[in-house]
Amino acid sequence: MLSAPHLNYALLAPILIILGAALLGVLVEAFISKALRSRLQIGISLIAVIAAFIQLIRVRNLTSTSAAVGSVAIDGAGIYIQLIILALAFVGLLYIADTDNFTAQASAIPGSTEEASSIAAGSQQTEVFPLTLFAIAGMMLFPIATDLITLFVALEVLSLPLYLMSGLSRRRRLLSQEAALKYFLLGAFSSAFFLFGAAFLYGYSGSLSLNGIADGVHSSGANSVFLLIGIIFLSVGLLFKVGAVPFHSWTPDVYQGAPTPITGFMAACTKAAAFGAMLRIFYVGFNDVQWDWKPIISAIAVITMVFGAIAAIVQRDVKRTLAFSSITHAGFILIAVVALSKNGLAAALFYFISYGFATLGAFGIVTLVRDSSGEITDLNRWSGLGKRSPLVASAFSLFMLSFGGIPLTAGFIGKFSVFTASYESGNINLVVFGVLTSAVALFFYLKIVLMIFFGESRSDTLTVVIPSILTRVAISICVIVTILLGVYPSLIFNSLQTFATFLH
């Protein structure tokens, strides 16, 4: 007779809270009248995120490898990443709360009378909230999962809702649906790679857990062909999620097509989650074969940085530009992965925060710049925005500067810490590449700033909508975090020093 497994729910509570809230959200969809749903969903989601955050804070000093029968590791870095994801998700939710960005009726054919009447009736697809919560739960699980099965499940839990939500834009629905299709097909494709890699890792070590794989490296008398195949294919899956070149190609299209709040949420949180998982896998599972994978990941890091930065130069769409920017940043974080040290981990964690908030802020501002047919994403039409709305333009420029790594913004500290960690671990070449790429990247960030402030304002229908209070709060948070962490990063770094460890 089996004894009941001990799951240690206190440690899993944050994820369970989110999942519970998601279920509640599904029930709300089923049983609550349409008029109330939206507000109720927002409330449930935000409260759940806050509650999960609080619960995480409460258990922050606990560590465990036995929670969930060893499927997850509760350790400093894990908790930290979860906290980051929740914080970013909170801001993301504030944008998502502006349901005006989502289609009134996803099943209605774009342009049909049905759609028009749905819009007229004020319908809303409030399912985005439970979907978002599911995604958040997956994101939280992904970086703390310690076996390949849980990893795979978590990967899917975070991905499926995102596939769906990408297709829910209110305007330009054809594009949005196309984004969903592309994201889904390529995502499933990459999942297959992930799984194939997982199989070979299992084949090599006889274990699905990261520790088991690490042990396998020690004990196995075999050559490492299976291991290498496993690492490569698993990496492909992960690199896809983080948007590293050459597995990046979905990024611009999906970022452009998806509803902007979702893009922001996805860009910030997925990156943190996927990189969190990646860090754990490489730090814990593949630590002892680092000489096999470091050159490969280094090369990918360089290609990613350079490609992202260069390709962004000629982009004319603000969301695509931000997508390429996110690719570049993925390259930078990869540098931290390659550093394979406590400082590298800390740097990566900090980078999640600095990049995440800046990204959320930037996409938040994208939601504000509109004409009668919705958001304006053509950069040419952003020209002269500074004259129309200096505050919004300033905030956007701030985020650009943070992306560019200008001192006194969080982005700079992020880059600095990544470079430092990399340098420390001897990867000076990567630092040099990183530095040069930063210069190229600055080129387009600054061009945007230039255009916004000094471009000729075209007297067209561009307006900057008065943001809803929630959006306003969200953007403000992003601005404050970006500046505060730029000026006084010790707020984070002091705690990172105690937290940035993985349990083995």
**Under rule CB under 8 A, residue 307 binds other proteins:** yes
Q: Which parts of 121-180 interact with other proteins (CB under 8 A)?
A: 121, 123, 125, 127, 130-131, 134, 137-138, 141, 147-150, 152-154, 156-157, 160-161, 163-164, 167-168, 173-175, 177-180
**Under rule CB under 8 A, residue 9 binds other proteins:** no
**Under rule CB under 8 A, residue 286 binds other proteins:** no
Q: Which is nearer to other proteins, 375 or 471 (CB)?
A: 375
Asked if 230 and 204 count as a contact pair (C-beta separation under 8 A), the reply is: yes
Q: Which is nearer to other proteins, 284 or 474 (CB)?
A: 284
**Strand blocks (E) in 346-468:** 369-371, 374-375, 463-464
Near other proteins by CB under 8 A: residue from 74, 208, 214, 277 = 208
CA angle 172, 176, 179 (to 5 degrees): 145
Q: Look up residue 33 and give its DSSP letter.
A: -
Asked if 225 and 201 count as a contact pair (C-beta separation under 8 A), the reply is: no
Q: What is the closest distance, in whole angstroms, from the C-beta atom of residue 112 to other proteins in the complex?
A: 9
**Under rule CB under 8 A, residue 346 binds other proteins:** yes
**Under rule CB under 8 A, residue 207 binds other proteins:** yes
Which residues contact residue 170 at a Cβ distance below 8 angstroms, ignoring those fewer than 6 apart? 100, 101, 102, 103, 104, 119, 259, 374
Q: What is the closest distance, in whole angstroms, from the C-beta atom of residue 192 to other proteins in the complex?
A: 4
Tokens of 124: 């809303």
Only segment of 83-91, 241-249, 353-361, 373-381 that touches other proteins (CB under 8 A) = 241-249
Q: Which is nearer to other proteins, 331 or 471 (CB)?
A: 331
Q: Which is nearer to other proteins, 155 or 284 (CB)?
A: 155
Q: Which is nearer to other proteins, 280 or 474 (CB)?
A: 280
Q: Which is nearer to other proteins, 43 or 488 (CB)?
A: 488
Q: Which residue has the tokens 């070449």?
A: 429
Which residues contact residue 444 at a Cβ distance below 8 angstroms, ignoring those fewer than 6 apart? 309, 312, 313, 315, 321, 325
Q: Which parts of 317-336 interact with other proteins (CB under 8 A)?
A: none
C-alpha distances in angstroms, 125 versus 166, 249, 269, 334, 371?
13, 29, 22, 37, 23
**Angle formed by the axes of helices 428-454 and 290-313, nearest 10°:** 20
Sign of CA dihedral 54, 345, 434, 309: negative
Q: Which is nearer to other proteins, 171 or 447 (CB)?
A: 447
Q: Which is nearer to other proteins, 455 or 471 (CB)?
A: 455
Strands 463-464, 374-375: parallel, antiparallel or unpaired by DSSP?
unpaired
Q: Which residue has the tokens 């470091």?
A: 294
Number of residues that bind other proteins (CB under 8 A): 151
Which amino acid, one-letter code, is at 152?
Answer: F
Q: Which parts of 180-199 interact with other proteins (CB under 8 A)?
A: 180-182, 184-186, 188-193, 195-196, 198-199
Nearest alpha carbon to residue 91 among 58, 132, 151: 132
Q: Which is nearer to other proteins, 87 or 145 (CB)?
A: 145
Q: Which parts of 378-407 interact with other proteins (CB under 8 A)?
A: 386-387, 390, 401, 404-407
Nearest alpha carbon to residue 55 among 20, 16, 92, 21: 16
Q: Look up residue 284 and give its DSSP letter.
A: I
Q: Which is nearer to other proteins, 177 or 471 (CB)?
A: 177
Only segment of 91-99, 308-316, 368-376, 469-477 that touches other proteins (CB under 8 A) = 308-316
Strands 369-371, 463-464: parallel, antiparallel or unpaired by DSSP?
antiparallel
Q: What is the closest distance, in whole angstroms, from the C-beta atom of residue 350 to other proteins in the complex?
A: 9
Only segment of 51-59, 351-359, 476-484, 490-498 that touches other proteins (CB under 8 A) = 490-498
Omega prior to 407 cis, within 30 of 0: no
Tokens of 498: 């105690």
**Under rule CB under 8 A, residue 71 binds other proteins:** yes
Q: Which parts of 410-449 interact with other proteins (CB under 8 A)?
A: 412-413, 415-417, 419-420, 423-424, 428, 431-432, 435-436, 438-440, 442-443, 446-447
